[in-house]
Structure 1
Amino acid sequence: MRFRKKPVVIEAIQFKVIKEIPCKYGTHKEYNDFEIIDFVSAHNHFVRVGTESNGEPDGLTFIEIPTLEGTMRADVGDWIIKGVAGEFYPCKPDIFEATYEPV
């Protein structure tokens, strides 16, 4: 037997840089992490924003999201998806673009 996935409309937001500000260390990046926190916490879920040094003064910002499979990490460029049961999970941009289209 063959099956086709049912069409589903989801809500999603991309984790991205919203502003780059020149500074004496290079470029300071501002992210839309507060927008993602609002998106997820509006549904009684909470995320953690973290930064790790990667040799740049600004570091690498990421978001940890509690999912049904445990805590998962979203990096800049990833999409945060609200699933059909109200769960949240990160999705890499190439997978997101291959799977979803705007409605």
Structure 2
Amino acid sequence: MAKYRKKTVEIEALKWGGVSQDSLDNLREFIGDEAYKERCLIYPTSDERLKIKTPSSEVVAQAGDYIVRGIEDEYYLCRTDIFEKTYERVCD
């Protein structure tokens, strides 16, 4: 059986801080105004969720999850524990 290694690729990500004006402003800056309007719906609930529309589904981010911009400008979620095992910071 053949073995494979994930190719090295740099991604951009934002850690979702929950529903606050700072978090919403950071999100809008991260994904851009047009994508923000088209893809994100904010749930102003006590559990601070964020719904993101993707080409194949809708995903829900909890506070602490990472929002990742993929290599084809797609957005997806990554839970903190998986993100920290998979990625390391390369610059600010």
Shift of 1:43: 6.5
Normalising by structure 2, we get a TM-score of 0.80
Query: Is residue 92 from structure 1 mapped to residue 92 from structure 2 by the alignment?
Result: no
Alignment partner, residue 31 of structure 2: 40
CA root-mean-square deviation = 2.0
Gaps of 5+ in 1: 18-28, 53-58
Task: Give the match's secondary structure for 1:51.
Answer: coil
Query: Which of the two has higher C-alpha Rg?
Result: 1
Normalising by structure 1, we get a TM-score of 0.73
- 1:1-80 equivalences under 5 Å are 1-16=2-17, 30=20, 32-42=23-33, 44-45=35-36, 46-52=39-45, 59-80=46-67
Q: Which amino acid aligns with 1:7?
A: T
Counting matched residue pairs gives 86
User: Any conservation in 2 of the 1:15–1:32 contact (CA below 8 Å)?
Assistant: yes
* Percent identity between the two aligned chains: 30
The structure carrying a bigger helix percent of its residues is 2
The structure carrying a bigger strand percent of its residues is 1
